[in-house]
Amino acid sequence: MGSIVRCGLGILILLGAAALPAKAQEDSAPPKPTVRGYSGLITGATQEQDLQPAPALNPDRTSLTGAQEMTLGSPELRHSYWVPGFRVQNNFASHDPNIGNSGWYSATYFLGDFSLRESWSHSELNINYSGGGSVSSARDFSGNAYQQVAILHTLRWKRWQLRFLDQFSRLPESPFGLGGVSSISTVGVGGTLGEGLPGLQTNYVPNQSIFTATGPRLSNGFVAQGEYFFSARSSVTAVASIGILHFTRGNSIDTQDGILSLGYNYQATPRDTLGLVYRFTAYRYPGNPQALDNQAAQVAYGRRITGRLAIQLFAGPDLTTFRQPKDSSQISVSAGASAKYALRRTELRLTYNRGLSGGSGLLTGTTLDEIQAQLSHQITRRWQTNTSGGYARNHQTIGIANISLSQDITSLFVSGGLSRALDRTASFSVNYTYQHQDHPLCGFTGCGTSYDQHQIWVGFDWRARPFVLR
């Protein structure tokens, strides 16, 4: 736990140091006129912005070989602002062996939300936060605390760009498929006003794709990224990352990881980018003698059409070495992909990742294949339908001690639901989510069979109108 505290202090120091140049820029930049209205806050947005077609977008500038996923673009920010909100999400769930519950139970989450977007002449700060607690009818329910924070601080100069990112969560269970298409997994107020935080790629967030790693857990991924532009077409990107997965109770395995990567980007056409990236990843398990080191070299390709399409592809060989058995190693193939596609009323998002994983709290290292998909469609001005699904296969690596697996651990979830905007600030949603896992695991809790759970989520979301800062 001490390592988590030290990591948190380090994050605060780095973010504070990054804010100093931004403050100086604020003092030298001419002040923006103060406005009181909601309209005009974001270019192209109206007072009913979430009930209208999306505003015009600025082109995405995410580095192909960096730590973030590409986006479809971002709305131009005219004024800095912050937005508070709250939500209530009620979950009716079937039998859950993780909490010793033999029948249906309910859990109600009460969450407060906060989103901030602050812009200076050469930098921008984005903060999204959601936190609260829950009550449940289940006897051993341990999910009474819920916290999620996402921070992105960007500093830009003529040839340099620095980004500091942090994604923290304190959740009662795995975030893999948590809540399905309900807003329980959204950080901040969501919608156009909560945008501006491109997500970290799967490699840079501690993986938790095994449902039966039990107990509340803390997860944190911190990234410092620098990019230098040789010309308008070519640049180099360096990334340093620290990840922590800590279980507050139970027998699950804590994981710590460190990542260093260096990539080269070349913009071949206005829409197409090519890249090469080398990445080193180290996994450590406090109190466990096992340690894994992974090296990967990948070729990358990206294609962007603002407002319509964003694609990233990675593939290449990797080498993993193990502390136990001594001097053992294995050669494999690592790959990744993300795709976002949007029409006027429909948006599709796909992600895929193959490579070494920390083990999701149940194993000391796995070869992971994971795919997730999300589809949203605006049926009418107020009604929207959402669907999502995910599949993960964790294959045991060599050198796992005190664990016997007869086959791979596979996890999947599917979810579908409807949401309705009640007015400019409130919405109502309902969805059904199904989770399944094959876990022929013998070790910590005896030999299990399979895990199935049905969930019905009903929720209400509200947010205030934005408070303009400058």
pTM for this predicted structure: 0.84
Residue 185 sits in a domain whose CATH number is 2.40.160
- Residue 368: predicted pLDDT: 94
Residue 239 has pLDDT above 70, yes or no: yes
Residue that wins the pLDDT comparison between 387 and 95: 387
Mean pLDDT, residues 245-255 taken together:
88
- Residue 402: predicted pLDDT: 42
Tokens, residue 82: 């912050």
Residue that wins the pLDDT comparison between 122 and 136: 122
**DSSP for residue 181:** T
Mean pLDDT, residues 206-219 taken together:
86
- Residue 215: predicted pLDDT: 77
Residue 452 has pLDDT above 90, yes or no: no
- Residue 470: predicted pLDDT: 80
Q: What is the band of 45 on the pLDDT scale with cuts at 50, 70, 90?
A: very low
pLDDT tens for each residue of 178-201: 888 988 888 999 877 776 566 889
Residue 332 has pLDDT above 70, yes or no: yes
% pLDDT > 90, the chain: 57
- Residue 172: predicted pLDDT: 85
Mean pLDDT, residues 326-339 taken together:
91
Q: What is the band of 37 on the pLDDT scale with cuts at 50, 70, 90?
A: very low
- Residue 396: predicted pLDDT: 81
Residue 27 has pLDDT above 90, yes or no: no
- Contact present, 334 and 359 (Cβ < 8 Å): no
Average model confidence (pLDDT) across the chain? 83
> What is d(CA 426, CA 422) in angstroms, rounded to the nearest whole number?
5
- Residue 254: predicted pLDDT: 94
Element (H, E) at 125: strand 123-136
193, burial (CB in 10 Å: exposed 0-12, middle 13-18, buried 19+): buried
% pLDDT > 70, the chain: 80
Task: Count other Cβ atoms within 10 Å, centred on residue 442.
Answer: 12
Mean pLDDT, residues 428-445 taken together:
76
Contacts of 2 (CB under 8 A, 6+ apart): none
pLDDT tens for each residue of 362-401: 888 899 999 999 999 999 999 999 999 999 999 887 655 4
Task: Count other Cβ atoms within 10 Å, centred on residue 422.
Answer: 12
Strands (E), 326-465: 328-342, 346-357, 366-378, 383-396, 404-405, 409-421, 426-438, 441-442, 450-463
Closest CA to 416 of 434, 427, 436, 431: 431
- Residue 76: predicted pLDDT: 78
Task: Count other Cβ atoms within 10 Å, centred on residue 452.
Answer: 12
> What is d(CA 143, CA 43) in angstroms, rounded to the nearest whole number?
40
Residue 32 has pLDDT above 90, yes or no: no
| C-alpha dist (Å) from residue 244 to 90, 199, 202, 247 | 29, 17, 14, 10
- Residue 159: predicted pLDDT: 95
Residue 203 has pLDDT above 90, yes or no: no
**Which of 84-98, 161-175, 189-203, 424-438 has the weakest average pLDDT?**
189-203
Tokens, residue 199: 């997500």
Tokens, residue 275: 């890249």
Mean pLDDT, residues 443-461 taken together:
75
> What is d(CA 449, CA 447) in angstroms, rounded to the nearest whole number?
7
Q: What is the band of 292 on the pLDDT scale with cuts at 50, 70, 90?
A: very high
**Which of 63-72, 123-132, 435-444 has the weakest average pLDDT?**
435-444
Q: What is the band of 42 on the pLDDT scale with cuts at 50, 70, 90?
A: low
Task: Count other Cβ atoms within 10 Å, centred on residue 124.
Answer: 19
- Residue 104: predicted pLDDT: 85
At 25 the three-state DSSP class reads: helix
**Which of 209-213, 236-240, 252-256, 355-359 has the weakest average pLDDT?**
209-213
199-213 exposure pattern, b = at least 16 Cβ within 10 A, e = fewer: bbbbbbbbbbbbbbb
Tokens, residue 372: 């997730």
Task: Count other Cβ atoms within 10 Å, centred on residue 75.
Answer: 20
- Residue 248: predicted pLDDT: 87
Residue 31 has pLDDT above 60, yes or no: no
Mean pLDDT, residues 340-350 taken together:
94
- Contact present, 366 and 359 (Cβ < 8 Å): yes
Q: What is the band of 5 on the pLDDT scale with cuts at 50, 70, 90?
A: very low
Q: What is the band of 297 on the pLDDT scale with cuts at 50, 70, 90?
A: very high
Q: How open is the CA angle 35-41-47, to the nearest 5 degrees?
A: 100
Closest CA to 414 of 177, 221, 182: 177
- Contact present, 195 and 44 (Cβ < 8 Å): no
Mean pLDDT, residues 68-81 taken together:
86
- Residue 438: predicted pLDDT: 83
> What is d(CA 191, CA 463) in angstroms, rounded to the nearest whole number?
10
Contacts of 329 (CB under 8 A, 6+ apart): 319, 320, 321, 322
Provide the domain count of the chain. 1
At 98 the three-state DSSP class reads: helix
Q: Which domain holds residue 38?
A: 2-468
